[in-house]
Amino acid sequence: MKSRRLFKDNLARSIMWFSAIFCILLVILIGFALFQRSRYILAMKSLADLFFLDSWHPLKGEFGFFPFIMGTLWVTCTAVIISVPLSFLTAIYLSEYAPRMIREWAKPAIDLLAGIPSVIYGVWGILVIVPLTKNYIAPFFGRHSSGYTVFAAGVVLAVMIFPVIIHVSIEVFRSVSFELREASWALGATKWQTIKHVVVRKALPGIIAANVLGFSRAFGETMAVLMVAGNVPKAPSSILDPAYPLPALIANNYGEMLSIPLYDSALLMAALVLFIVVLFFSILSRFALVRVERSSE
C-alpha cells in the first residue's frame, strides 16, 4: 500500500514537472520558429532600415516598420492613459469602500468584460465610438475625420484591458496586511489618508505590474484594433489620425501575396517583435508581483 502511494505521488510529480517544462519549451519554440522565419529579411535588411524607414512597399522590396510601430505605440499608450486612472480608482473603491453587495455584483460584470470576444468590442467601436469621434470629437477640435482613428482604437482597447488591471489591482490591495491599516487609523489617519499613504504605497509594485500587464494585453490586441484604427500605413501625429498597428498588419496581410520575396519573412518579423515586447512586459510584471508577494509575507 505504501509503495502504491509513493508511486502515485511520484507519477503526479512527474506529470506536473513535464507540464511545466512543456509550457516553458513551448514559449521558446514559438520564439525560435518566428526567428527562423524572420532571418531571411534580417539577412537582407538592417534593423535600422526595418525599424526606422517609413516606406512599406513590398513589391519594391521596401519593408519599413516605422509607421506600424508608431501606430501600435500611439494606440496602446492612448488605451493605457484612458484605462489606468479609471481602473485604479475602480479597484480602490471595490477593495476599500464598496459594500459587500456591490462587490458581489461588480465582479461578475468585470468578468463579463474579460470574456467578451474582441470582435464584439470591434463592432461596438464601429457602431458607437467611430460615429462619436467623426461627428462630435473631431469637429470640436476643428478636424475632419472618418472616425477610424487612434482615439477610437484607444477607447476600445481601454475597455478591453479594464478587467486585467482591475482584477490584479484588487488582489494586490488585498495582499496588504490589515494590521497596517489599523496602525494607521490608530495614529489618527483618515481612511483616505490610510489608503493613499499606506495601502497604495505598499502595493505600488503590484499596481505597476497590473498596468504593465494591461499594456502588454493592449499591445498585442488584433481584431478590435483592426476594425476601428483606420489601417493607414502612415505614422500618426495625433490621436485623431488613423493608425495601422503591427497586429493589424499581420492579420490583414498574412496569407496574401506571400509569393513576393521577403514578404512572408517581413510579416513574421513583425510577429517576432510583438512576441518579444509582450514577453518582456509579462516577465517584468511577474517580477513586480513576486516582489509584492514577498513583501506581504
- Sequence ranges of the domains in the chain: 66-295
Fold of the domain built from segment(s) 66-295: MetI-like fold (1.10.3720)
Percent of the chain beyond pLDDT 70?
94
Which ranges of the chain have pLDDT less than 70? 1-2, 255-259, 261, 288-289, 291-297
CB 163 within 8 A of CB 216: no
For cell 488613423, name the residue: 242
pLDDT value of position 123: 92
The full DSSP string for 271-289 is HHHHHHHHHHHHHHHHHHH
pLDDT value of position 257: 60
Among 135, 157, 158, which Cα is nearest to 146's?
Answer: 135
List pLDDT tens digits, range 207-263: 888 888 888 888 878 788 888 988 888 888 889 999 998 888 888 887 666 667 678
- Residues in the chain, how many? 297
pLDDT value of position 297: 56
Q: How many angstroms separate the CA atoms of 257 and 167, rounded?
A: 42
The full DSSP string for the chain is -HHHHHHHHHHHHHHHHHHHHHHHHHHHHHHHHHHHHHHHHHHHS-HHHHHH---EEGGGTEE--HHHHHHHHHHHHHHHHHHHHHHHHHHHIIIII--HHHHHHHHHHHHHHHHS-HHHHHHHIIIIIHHHIIIIIHHHTT----S-SHHHHHHHHHHHHHHHHHHHHHHHHHHS-HHHHHHHHHTT--HHHHIIIIIHHHHHHHHHHHHHHHHHHHHT--HHHHHHSB--SS--SSTTS-B--HHHHHHHHTTSSTTSTTHHHHHHHHHHHHHHHHHHHHHHHHHHHHHHHHHT-
Distances (CA, A) of 79 to 31, 152, 166, 217: 27, 9, 14, 11
List pLDDT tens digits, range 211-221: 888 888 888 78
Q: How many angstroms separate the CA atoms of 206 and 269, rounded?
A: 32
